[in-house]
């Protein structure tokens, strides 16, 4: 159920959910957001036409598309939703005549910074209040070392960022954090640099840039945690973007914690660097079957079959964390419904996501009567007995959807305020939930 006051994007301000409605049936979630950003950018770096189907529908990917259009790339959306990109190669990009607005999208800002660092013109990247608070030195400093001139508020720590691009020199970067956005920005700069660019990560982070660039013929190799790239570009390509596992994760948790549920999530990207939430939920007792169905653009794809199950607490820490960080809001709700005390550690990066997710999840779990304790690098969640409450999104799409998942599983009504935040990644989330709960 939704309350009145729709936002300009048609989404309701607040939603009310509840009633322990089981999820049943099949769903194809929107195209993967990380892959959609990259598909648009790589198509714009190729020379010739590319054709993309099932591109993510949210505002974040729309921001990438608008940035590319501002540098002169022609992008056309057909009535069936497919997107054609007329790639000009990086050399065809033109100085934008206005600021590039990345809205809420960290991936747009950081990856575009990597490409624009090699372009011989001035670009200025900005974003909404949340993005302007997120750390940018992690891309600014290594890109400066390759020869580009970047600046921003507080000596380049925060957006708006100005980029005076130019000739780049390849070098070796040893990253302090396992960030796919930083790694990807440096790879994209490396495609335009002289010599070899090496990016060494401290742990595995999502590797779509490496897989997709290699599949599309760009000069990139991977050796464990080391990625090497030299000057070159991808070829034009056609791609049906697989479903987003981070969006699917909300339905996996919703089906697990709502008794009587039985769902199939079709054609999801099964990249292992995105799927660590599945073994975590399985060891908590979840009934999830992964059915592989081939590969596209170097990415395994397949279905997730999920039935309701009782959960026990677990400890989430160490090397599995970078591959499930975006799923922590969904996992936190699973932990709220599990028996026992769940600990999430080694996840300080949660502090610098679309909201400070340690703080916001702690608040929202408390609203549901769940005992919770914030840690400097995670959360302790005393699960078992959540009850309906009043939740807020804090402007964070994943906090909003996590709230909806918990709300649906509770007997009684829960309000999620600030629902419009879901526009970043999944504007049609409520419709999809309603189609599975039979309330559409």
Phi, psi of 82 (to 5 degrees): -75, 155
Name the residue nearer to ligand S3P (CB basis): 66 or 86: 66
H/E run at residue 153: helix 153-156
180 near ligand S3P (CB under 6 A)? yes
Catalytic residue among 32, 326, 396, 432: 326
184 near ligand S3P (CB under 6 A)? yes
Burial annotation 52-91 (CB, 10 A radius, 16+ → b, else e): bebbbbbbbbbbbbbbbebbebebeeeeeeebebbbbebe
Binding segment for ligand S3P (CB under 6 A), chosen from 174-182, 262-270, 274-282, 409-417, is: 174-182
CB of 401 vs ligand S3P, minimal distance in Å: 13
Name the residue nearer to ligand S3P (CB basis): 101 or 326: 326
CB of 210 vs ligand S3P, minimal distance in Å: 11
CB of 351 vs ligand S3P, minimal distance in Å: 11
What whole-number distance in Å separates Cα of residue 148 and Cα of residue 163?
7
Among residues 64, 107, 256, 258, the one that binds ligand S3P under rule CB under 6 A: 107
325 near ligand S3P (CB under 6 A)? yes
Among residues 34, 201, 256, 414, the one that binds ligand S3P under rule CB under 6 A: 34
- State the angle between helix axes of 33-45 and 106-116 in degrees (0 to 180), rounded to the nearest 10: 20
3-class DSSP state of 49: strand
Output the six-digit token pair for 331. 């996992």
Name the residue nearer to ligand S3P (CB basis): 131 or 148: 131
C-alpha 374, offset from chain centre: 23
User: CA-CA-CA-CA torsion for 98, 104, 108, 111, nearest 10 degrees?
Assistant: 110
CA distances from 336 to 121, 342, 378 (A): 50, 8, 15
Output the six-digit token pair for 51. 């054709």
Output the six-digit token pair for 281. 């939920």
181 near ligand S3P (CB under 6 A)? yes
Name the residue nearer to ligand S3P (CB basis): 270 or 313: 270
Name the residue nearer to ligand S3P (CB basis): 14 or 207: 207
Binding segment for ligand S3P (CB under 6 A), chosen from 2-10, 180-188, 309-317, 367-375, is: 180-188
326 near ligand S3P (CB under 6 A)? yes
Residue 434: burial class (beta carbons within 10 Å; 0-12, 13-18, 19+)? middle
Q: Per-residue x/- mask for ligand S3P, residues 115 to 144, rule CB under 6 A?
A: ------------------------------
3-class DSSP state of 416: strand
- State the angle between helix axes of 429-437 and 245-257 in degrees (0 to 180), rounded to the nearest 10: 40
Q: How many CA atoms lie within 13 A of 27 on its CB side?
A: 32
Q: Per-residue x/- mask for ligand S3P, residues 328 to 367, rule CB under 6 A?
A: ---------------------x------------------
308 near ligand S3P (CB under 6 A)? no
CA distances from 354 to 14, 192, 316, 421 (A): 19, 30, 21, 10
Name the residue nearer to ligand S3P (CB basis): 205 or 258: 205
Name the residue nearer to ligand S3P (CB basis): 108 or 414: 108
Among residues 21, 54, 119, 206, the one that binds ligand S3P under rule CB under 6 A: 206
Binding segment for ligand S3P (CB under 6 A), chosen from 75-83, 175-183, 226-234, 329-337, is: 175-183
Q: How many CA atoms lie within 13 A of 176 on its CB side?
A: 7
Output the six-digit token pair for 175. 């990253």
Name the residue nearer to ligand S3P (CB basis): 208 or 392: 208
Among residues 36, 104, 108, 179, the one that binds ligand S3P under rule CB under 6 A: 179
Q: How many residues bind ligand S3P (CB under 6 A)?
A: 11
Residue 318: burial class (beta carbons within 10 Å; 0-12, 13-18, 19+)? exposed
Residues 58-77 that bind ligand S3P (CB under 6 A): none
326 assigned to active site: yes
Q: Which residues are tagged catalytic?
A: 326
Under the rule (CB under 6 A), what is the footprint of ligand S3P? 34, 107, 179-181, 184, 205-206, 325-326, 349
């Amino acid at each position: 159920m939704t309350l009145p006051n729709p936002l300009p994007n048609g989404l309701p301000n607040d939603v009310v959910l509840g009633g322990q409605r089981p999820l049943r049936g099949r769903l194809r979630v929107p195209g993967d957001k990380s892959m959609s950003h990259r598909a648009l950018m790589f198509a714009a770096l190729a020379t010739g036409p590319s054709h993309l189907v099932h591109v993510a529908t949210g505002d974040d990917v729309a921001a990438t598309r608008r940035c590319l259009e501002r540098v002169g790339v022609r992008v056309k959306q057909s009535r069936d939703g497919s997107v054609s990109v007329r790639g000009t190669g990086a050399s065809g990009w033109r100085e934008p005549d206005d600021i590039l607005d990345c809205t809420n999208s960290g991936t747009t800002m950081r990856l575009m910074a990597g490409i624009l660092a090699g372009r011989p013109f001035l670009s200025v990247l900005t974003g909404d209040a949340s993005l302007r608070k997120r750390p940018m030195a992690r891309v600014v400093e290594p890109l400066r070392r390759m020869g580009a001139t970047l600046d921003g508020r507080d000596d380049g720590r925060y957006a708006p960022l100005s980029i005076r691009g130019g000739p780049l020199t390849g070098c070796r970067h040893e990253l302090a954090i396992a960030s796919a956005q930083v790694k990807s920005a440096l790879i994209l700069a490396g495609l335009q640099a002289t010599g070899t660019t090496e990016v060494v990560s401290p742990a595995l982070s999502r590797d779509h840039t490496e897989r997709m660039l290699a599949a599309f013929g760009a000069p990139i190799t991977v050796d464990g945690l080391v990625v090497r790239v030299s000057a070159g570009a991808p070829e034009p390509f056609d791609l049906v973007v697989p479903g987003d596992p981070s969006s699917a994760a909300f339905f996996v948790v919703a089906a697990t914690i709502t008794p009587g549920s039985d769902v199939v999530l079709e054609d999801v990207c099964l990249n292992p660097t995105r799927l660590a939430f599945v073994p975590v939920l399985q060891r908590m007792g979840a009934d999830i079957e992964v059915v592989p169905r081939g590969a596209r653009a170097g990415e395994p794809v397949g279905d997730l079959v999920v039935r309701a199950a009782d959960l026990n607490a677990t400890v989430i820490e160490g090397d599995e964390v970078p591959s499930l960080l975006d799923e922590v809001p969904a996992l936190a709700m699973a932990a709220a419904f599990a028996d026992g005390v769940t600990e999430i550690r080694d996840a300080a990066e949660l502090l610098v996501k679309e909201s400070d997710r340690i703080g916001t999840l702690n608040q929202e779990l408390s609203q549901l009567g769940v005992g919770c304790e914030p840690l400097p690098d995670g959360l302790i969640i005393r699960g078992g007995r959540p009850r309906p409450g009043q939740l807020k999104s804090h402007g964070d799409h994943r906090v909003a959807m996590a709230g909806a998942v918990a709300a649906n599983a509770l007997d009684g009504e829960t309000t999620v305020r600030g629902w419009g935040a879901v526009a970043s990644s999944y504007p049609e989330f409520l419709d999809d939930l309603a189609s599975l709960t039979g309330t559409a």
